Structure 1
Amino acid sequence: MTSPHRDLPSLDLETPALLRVSPLLRDLQERGPVCLVRTPAGDEGWLVTRHSVLKQLLNDERIGHSHPDPANAAQYVRNPFLDLMIADTDAETARRTHTESRRLLAPMFSARRVREMEPRVAAVVDAVLDDFTAQEPPGDLHGGVSVPVARTVLCDIIGVPPQNREHLTALLSQTAVLGDREGVQRTQRDLYAFVGGLVEHKRAAPGQDIITRLAEGGLSDERVTHLAVGLLFAGLDSVVTIMDHGVVLLATHPEQRAAALADPDVMTHAVEEVLRAAKAGGSILPRYATEDLTVGGETIRAGDLVLFDFSLPNFDERAFDEPERFDVTRSPNPHLTFAHGMWHCIGAPLARIELNTVFTQLFTRLPDLRLALPAGELAENEGRLSGGLSELPVTW
């Protein structure tokens, strides 16, 4: 699939701007609903650019995470951890495994269970803000609020003891590094060994957590470890990034922030608007076509790499009125940040509660909170799978 002689738009030509769609991505979106591009790994892939087509393909079983030859499959970026996400089984087996995983995990994030978590989330946010506001301004909201809140909530529900959480964060961070294959492979082994040790511990001393419930469900230690690692990897950086970006958006739109703080219903809509606007392209998950299919006049062949970008379609003018405008009253707001259909994020209800609680408590306790740098000077991380900010300096 790699054709070095073919002149294609390259996804690594531009450094992403904070909360803005890059000219390249906007151009690709106007060209068509799917565009053949060159990935940062140097391979060819089909980037899905438009809202209606992404929503359609998220329900299409002909696209999944299996490939007949994973070692030679086209890649979005070169990272050994992402390689683990490519199933080497046939498409039907991969679909059954995916469905079974969702069946096991979805009840643990049911509406009832998530409602029961609300007091715990509120207590976590309150304690973190106590520590954060005890210091003199300025402060780093990324390291002082977003990371500890997201880490504590996620580790509580999965079953990671407090004394192990900073070590886990370091392992997850190193696993997401690009350009250091050997280092990532070493960290990956350490991460699986670490989580595998937690699984053994939970079998001997069960708790009220996801690892315990999975272990009691008859799964092997290896399967429980793999599911738990996937939840930890998917659930930490993504929530931290949206939380950081949401603070930037609300801090720089004071009238809309005030409206959200004055009315819980508006805050609920504000969270959805943050989810829509928090990233403007680049939230990509690689998938593969398991059969030939035609999309937007283009023929995608079996084995081709298909790039699902869960943020660029949120800025599609065909689906959203003035998508570049941040509007906490936007309704309806059919963003695809949490994907859709069989790929919909099962942790979405919990993430919504975390975001609502942080935004409400943060700006209530620190009504004068503002960025310590102009938003344009906040740089996204490069060289990592998840991007995001490494620091968010604020003052009050």
Structure 2
Amino acid sequence: MTASPRELPSLGLEPPEFLRVSPLLRGLQEQAPICRVRTPAGDEGWLVTRHAELKELLHDERFGRSHPDPANAARYVRNPFLDLMITDTDADAGRRTHTETRRLLTPMFSARRVREMAPKVEAVVEAALDEFIAQGAPGDLHGGLSTPVALTVLCDIIGIPPHSRGELMTLLARMALLDSRESVERGQRDLFAFVEGLVGQKRAEPGEDIMTRLSEGGLPEARVAPLAVGLLFAGLDSVVTIMDHGVVLLAGHPKQRAAALADPAAMTHAVEEVLRAAKAGGSILPRYATEDVETGGVTIRAGDLILFDYSLPNFDERAFDAPERFDITRAPNPHLTFAHGIWHCIGAPLARIELNTLFTRLFTRLPGLRLALPADDLRLLEGQLSGGFTKLPVTW
């Protein structure tokens, strides 16, 4: 692009509307597959806007978290916790670490293991629904159902015992309030120390969980803890957000909801459409080029910030017919919500089971469930980074 820095289009953190791409993002998508933009932090970067180009770049190992000067690297947002994810580790070493992490964790989310988890997920959903319904209408589905389900499933799989989950939530909540690198580092040390203690307990009392399996594989506590914490951060908020948004979408399309409830195969397709349509832009993963890259008609220089948006390309008309229409019969549905290639989410099979089970059981047990306020008003309650709700009022 030839625009001067002052003329660069500026991205904001405004929550997207349901099934509607903002005029700014739609304009950028029509302009080019990769656009130079100004981030909410005020820095310059590249935004990938289209499906084909994002899918291709998610296979490219020349993009990662490494930067030669992390303190001065361009940022998507100013956030001390996210700043810790930028590393000055040699790019090759970073790629090796990424590959090794996936090698360790992927077998624990194999198709067979996930199928074995399905009865446990259903039991968690039913128990949470019992409590949610018992509290009576109206209710906050976000705090009363989506969050407890996602947290319980994730903690069960990782191996965090029920009596320790209150302390875990306190530590996670504290991390969200930290406002300096020093305080974030202290919070991170406290969280890692807490999980390391649980790993030590697993050696004495093993279970059928990830921390036990990693420990039995010979990894020390100091190595297992970051992996477990990484799964918590990757798998909690994102799943809660999609659960909430899926309920809004299905509640707003009663005929399609009824079709999904009448046929398990249709519900499987409905889950994929929820995954595609849950957010119309703003699911950003910041990465840095480790060398000059020619792609999409531009040259991305080594050290440049590139923004992989996993939701905007799901609304690319080159890949999807009428993308702003919610359609559970859509086929194929090659959404990139779980990324792709070397960045594909290893927990995707489990997330799909959680979503399928929650939508099926919720609308079966509460067929009259509806939003307690217009869907367009919910966006005012959404958070800055996750795009999730602080509350989701429903009644039945």
1:291 to partner: Cα distance: 1.2
Other-structure match for 1:21: 21
Percent of paired sites with the same residue: 76
Aligned residue runs from structure 1 range 24-43, under 5 A: 24-43=24-43
Query: In structure 2, how many angstroms separate the alpha carbons of the residues matched to 1:176 and 1:348?
Result: 25
Query: CA, structure 1 residues 338+15, in 2 after alignment: closer, same or farther (shift >3 Å)?
Result: closer
Query: CA, structure 1 residues 170+310, in 2 after alignment: closer, same or farther (shift >3 Å)?
Result: farther
Other-structure match for 2:309: 309
Other-structure match for 2:59: 59
Query: In structure 2, how many angstroms separate the alpha carbons of the residues matched to 1:259 and 1:241?
Result: 23
Other-structure match for 1:322: 322
Residue 215 of structure 2 is aligned to residue 215 of structure 1: yes
Aligned residue runs from structure 1 range 73-92, under 5 A: 73-92=73-92
Aligned residue runs from structure 1 range 126-137, under 5 A: 126-137=126-137
1:215 to partner: Cα distance: 1.7
Aligned residue runs from structure 1 range 134-283, under 5 A: 134-176=134-176, 183-283=183-283
Letter of the 1:295 partner, please give it: T
1:39 to partner: Cα distance: 1.2
1:131-159: per-residue Cα shift (whole Å, max 9, x none)? 11112210011111100100000000001
Does the residue aligned with 1:299 lie in a helix, a strand or coil? strand
Letter of the 1:263 partner, please give it: D
Other-structure match for 2:346: 346
Query: In structure 1, how many angstroms separate the alpha carbons of the residues matched to 2:177 and 2:28?
Result: 27
Letter of the 1:143 partner, please give it: G
Other-structure match for 1:102: 102
Query: In structure 1, how many angstroms separate the alpha carbons of the residues matched to 2:29 and 2:169?
Result: 35
1:169-220: per-residue Cα shift (whole Å, max 9, x none)? 3433443458665654443332222222222222332221111111222223
1:122 to partner: Cα distance: 0.5
Identify unmatched segments of 5+ residues in structure 1. Answer: none
1:110 to partner: Cα distance: 0.3
1:8-63: per-residue Cα shift (whole Å, max 9, x none)? 11112745334532221111111111111111122111111100000000001111
Query: CA, structure 1 residues 182+88, in 2 after alignment: closer, same or farther (shift >3 Å)?
Result: closer
Does the residue aligned with 1:71 lie in a helix, a strand or coil? helix
How many residues in Structure 1 have an aligned counterpart in Structure 2? 394
Query: In structure 2, how many angstroms separate the alpha carbons of the residues matched to 1:216 and 1:230?
Result: 19
TM-score (norm 2): 0.95
Query: CA, structure 1 residues 5+310, in 2 after alignment: closer, same or farther (shift >3 Å)?
Result: closer
Query: In structure 2, how many angstroms separate the alpha carbons of the residues matched to 1:33 and 1:244?
Result: 30
Contact 1:283 1:309 survives alignment (8 Å) = yes
Q: Could you tell which deviates more after superposition, 236-245 or 199-208?
A: 199-208
Query: In structure 2, how many angstroms separate the alpha carbons of the residues matched to 1:212 and 1:320?
Result: 42
Residue 49 of structure 2 is aligned to residue 46 of structure 1: no
Query: CA, structure 1 residues 294+381, in 2 after alignment: closer, same or farther (shift >3 Å)?
Result: farther
Does the residue aligned with 1:379 lie in a helix, a strand or coil? helix
Residue 325 of structure 2 is aligned to residue 287 of structure 1: no
Query: CA, structure 1 residues 356+285, in 2 after alignment: closer, same or farther (shift >3 Å)?
Result: same
Letter of the 1:63 partner, please give it: F
Query: In structure 1, how many angstroms separate the alpha carbons of the residues matched to 2:178 and 2:42?
Result: 14
Does the residue aligned with 2:7 lie in a helix, a strand or coil? coil
Query: In structure 2, how many angstroms separate the alpha carbons of the residues matched to 1:140 and 1:383?
Result: 16
Does the residue aligned with 1:6 lie in a helix, a strand or coil? helix
Does the residue aligned with 1:9 lie in a helix, a strand or coil? coil
Other-structure match for 1:373: 373
Query: In structure 1, how many angstroms separate the alpha carbons of the residues matched to 2:231 and 2:80?
Result: 17
1:223 to partner: Cα distance: 1.7
Query: In structure 2, how many angstroms separate the alpha carbons of the residues matched to 1:380 and 1:272?
Result: 26
Identify unmatched segments of 5+ residues in structure 2. Answer: none
Query: In structure 1, how many angstroms separate the alpha carbons of the residues matched to 2:134 and 2:274?
Result: 27
Q: Could you tell which deviates more after superposition, 246-255 or 11-20?
A: 11-20
Contact 1:48 1:309 survives alignment (8 Å) = yes
Other-structure match for 1:332: 332
Letter of the 1:56 partner, please give it: E
Contact 1:245 1:278 survives alignment (8 Å) = yes
Other-structure match for 1:299: 299
Does the residue aligned with 1:81 lie in a helix, a strand or coil? helix
Does the residue aligned with 1:286 lie in a helix, a strand or coil? strand
Does the residue aligned with 2:135 lie in a helix, a strand or coil? coil
1:367-386: per-residue Cα shift (whole Å, max 9, x none)? 00000000001025566432
Query: CA, structure 1 residues 381+90, in 2 after alignment: closer, same or farther (shift >3 Å)?
Result: farther
Query: CA, structure 1 residues 72+382, in 2 after alignment: closer, same or farther (shift >3 Å)?
Result: farther
Superposition RMSD in Å: 1.9
1:271-307: per-residue Cα shift (whole Å, max 9, x none)? 0000000111111111111111112211100111111
Other-structure match for 1:70: 70
Letter of the 1:273 partner, please give it: E
Q: Could you tell which deviates more after superposition, 67-76 or 307-316?
A: 67-76
Query: In structure 2, how many angstroms separate the alpha carbons of the residues matched to 1:108 and 1:365?
Result: 32
Query: CA, structure 1 residues 147+135, in 2 after alignment: closer, same or farther (shift >3 Å)?
Result: same
1:107-144: per-residue Cα shift (whole Å, max 9, x none)? 00000000000000000001111111112210011111
Letter of the 1:118 partner, please give it: A
1:85 to partner: Cα distance: 2.2
1:219-240: per-residue Cα shift (whole Å, max 9, x none)? 2322211111110001000000
Contact 1:157 1:209 survives alignment (8 Å) = yes
Aligned residue runs from structure 1 range 2-17, under 5 A: 6-12=6-12, 14-17=14-17
Q: Could you tell which deviates more after superposition, 183-192 or 269-278?
A: 183-192
